[in-house]
Chain A
């Protein structure tokens, strides 16, 4: 099946009434999450995640993707109207977006952002189709040694690129690996570290850990830092939503530049959407005719970064779908959704579950159209969500997290795990440890062990099997290259910082 045939097949799946409803519900809930004050998209997606399990796998994943894109769209609304970025990728949007809102162009800016996000997301889907099917062709050559290189290499890369110091990522990652060893192991079925608790025999469920670390911990921070007097945004009238001809003209080149840049960032490991939005902002400052206005309310300052962050978010589906490696927290959440549904993401996904792969890709097109239709005419509704008091939505989301967590295995024990993970997440947030490596360790750990041991079984104990095949060697070389490039970049940044400090003295 080539990309075009795949897309047509995907459209036939995504356009069924059930899947369309799932895409709509996801886009709607995602936008609401993105808009809700203080609740980031990762926390919001984590809280909604278990609810997707009651649907069939394709519809569940389509809904997840809708939540993901929707929260990216919605995150910009608070950035523009209140100067409160809904998520880290919208920080840049707040700079010029809020200035434009103060100039009375809030409605037009919201339209430029929504259309820019649509352009970035839609064009990036084309790239995802091409790259993923290319990678899938290599997939049939994968054996335990290649999978081991991919998963272990991915984990090593993740420990160095997730931000913060090495120790801040390594410690939570190892904790994730440890949690992954609890319960019955996959190769011989031996039970480990259960301490006589029958609930642990099946292992630590991913869902309570993810919901606790991201959702519950975030809600605890909200309880702690209540916004005592939340700003009330001005309402936006329908007639103000239409940008002027000049604004459209100025936005188009920025959208295209942002989309291209964002796609490249999405393919490499790291917090792609955030990095892409910052890089796009700098690119606009350097290349746009109105570069000097950026920072004081220029349309390019929101158009480029918004297209870039949505393009990067979409492109990050390539490593997620084709390699099964989550490089961002949201990607980790999507992988957990797949695993709970019994689907193993990775190189074999496209051949084993074409309906899911192509259905998800096609739903991204449909989801982007829905988001455009949802965001522009309904901006007034989203703005009114900002007025919901914390004392109403925090308890509501806590109950939602319990229902979602309990429903996965009908286990109260899992709800206690949710509480424990929430407390750990809160403490890790305070102590500046990274959360994403813990989840990635928990997801990849059992796979790493399985492939490691299976490879030794196959080779009758010959450890050279790990570096015998060209694919495994290529993966390890790529890992080394990423680590070396990261090391050089950090050294150069440190050197530049030291020079700047010296010259200021």
Chain B
């Protein structure tokens, strides 16, 4: 059984509506302050953003005023988010993904990819007897194949990192 926590969908949507309303206000304020309105025959750069802000405010209000419940409501009353070990795994994979971007310019694409692959395979594998050596071999093989195919063959520009002169 996968651990999960239930949350009320109407409440979550109303929170999203409030955030959207705040965003609409900030966005309109910035457009009003920094952009030109122009004239009817020469409309400026502020016109469209102000219209979009008005539309965002309208859509936010329509989310806030939604009526939930009853047989006609097409939406479920709740939604689930992972909990316990599943939540830890999801957040760990996200953290590993973010560290991967930070490390990429320094270590280069191939090394950073291999390390990320190893970390995420380890985190996602269910097998309690998983072998780090086997996962490391998978990670290195995939990273090298990607490097050869994309960077060498298709000439995709990726960060080479500080170890550039020692690789290939």
In B1-45, which residues have CB < 8 Å from any A CB? 2, 9, 12-13, 16-17, 20, 23, 27, 30-31, 34-36, 39-45
Residues on the B chain within 8 Å of A412, using CB: 101, 104-105, 159
Binds B, one of A39-47, A111-119, A455-463: A455-463
Is A218 an interface position by the 8 A CB rule? no
Q: Within 8 Å CB of A54, what residues of B? A: 150, 154-156
A96 near B: Cβ within 8 Å?
no
- CA–CA, A448 and B51, complex, Å: 12
For B100-139 the 0/1 string (1 means CB < 8 A from A) is 1100110001000100110011001110000000000011
Answer whether A181 and B52 are a contact pair too, CB < 8 Å, given A223-B89, A223-B90, A392-B138: yes
How far, in angstroms, from A285 to B42 measured CA to CA in the complex? 59
Contact bitstring A144-184, B, C-beta under 8 A = 1, else 0: 00000000000000000000111100110111011001000
| Chain B residue nearest to A449 in the complex (CB) | B48
Tell me the interface secondary structure of chain A in the complex. Answer: helix
Among B74, B86, B117, B150, contact of A403 (Cβ-Cβ < 8 Å)? B150
A433 CA / B60 CA spacing, docked (Å): 12
Interchain CA distance A257-B62 in the complex, whole Å: 41
Determine the distance from Cα of A449 to Cα of B9 in the docked complex, in whole angstroms: 34
A185 in contact with B45 (CB, 8 Å):
yes
Q: Is the CB of B101 within 8 A of A174?
A: no
| A226 touching B62, Cβ below 8 Å | no
Within 8 A of B (CB), among A372-393: 389-392
B62 interface neighbour in A170, A400, A430, A498, Cβ under 8 Å: A170
Chain B binding surface, main DSSP class:
helix
Question: B117 touches which one: A177, A390, A396, A430 (CB < 8 A)?
Answer: A396
Residues on A with C-beta less than 8 A from B55 are: 170, 174, 177
State whether A165 and B74 are in contact (beta carbons under 8 Å apart), knowing that A178-B52, A190-B35, A399-B113 are contacts in the complex: yes
Inside 8 A of A402's CB, which chain B residues have their CB?
100-101, 104, 113
- B17 — which chain A residues lie within 8 A by C-beta? 167, 171
Cβ 8 A contact of B146, one of A166, A403, A459: A403
Would B49 and A431 count as touching, CB distance under 8 A? no
Contact B81 A430 (CB under 8 A): yes
Let me know if A192 and B62 touch, CB within 8 A: no
Closest to B53 in A: A178
Q: How far is the CB of A384 from chain B (nearest CB, A)?
A: 17
Q: Which residues of A contact B45 (CB under 8 A)?
A: 185, 187-188, 190, 192
Residue from A170, A226, A395 in contact with B120 in the complex, judged by beta carbons closer than 8 Å = A395
B121 touches A431 (CB 8 A): no
Q: Does B148 interact with chain A (Cβ within 8 Å)?
A: no
Complex Cα spacing A178 to B31, Å: 11
Q: Quick check: is B140 within 8 A (CB to CB) of the other chain?
A: no
Which of A171, A223, A419, A460 is close to B98, meaning CB atoms less than 8 Å apart?
Answer: A419
- Give chain A nearest CB distance to B12 CB in angstroms: 5
What is the bound-complex CA distance between A310 and B142, given in angstroms?
33
Most buried by A among B27, B45, B47, B60: B45
A410 interface hit (Cβ, 8 Å): yes
Chain B residues with CB below 8 A from A430, complex form = 12, 79, 81
User: Is A166 touching B62 in the complex (CB atoms < 8 A)?
Assistant: yes
Give 1 or 0 for each of A468-505: 1 = CB within 8 Å of chain B CB.
00000000000000000000000000100110010000
Q: B167 contacts which chain A residues (CB < 8 A)? A: none
Task: Contacts A395-B121, A403-B113, A419-B94 known; list 9 others, CB within 8 Å.
Answer: A51-B154, A167-B63, A170-B58, A220-B90, A225-B2, A402-B101, A410-B157, A430-B81, A501-B71
9 A/B residue pairs, CB under 8 Å, sorted by A: A226-B124, A399-B113, A412-B101, A415-B104, A427-B16, A432-B13, A452-B48, A457-B43, A461-B39
Binding site for B on A (CB under 8 A): 51, 54, 164-167, 170-171, 173-175, 177-178, 181, 185, 187-188, 190, 192-193, 220, 223-226, 228, 389-392, 394-396, 398-400, 402-403, 406-407, 410, 412, 415-416, 419, 427, 430-433, 445, 448-449, 452-453, 456-457, 459-461, 494, 497-498, 501
**Can you list the 6 inter-chain pairs with the closest CB atoms, starting with the nearest?**
A461-B40, A461-B41, A391-B124, A170-B59, A395-B120, A449-B48
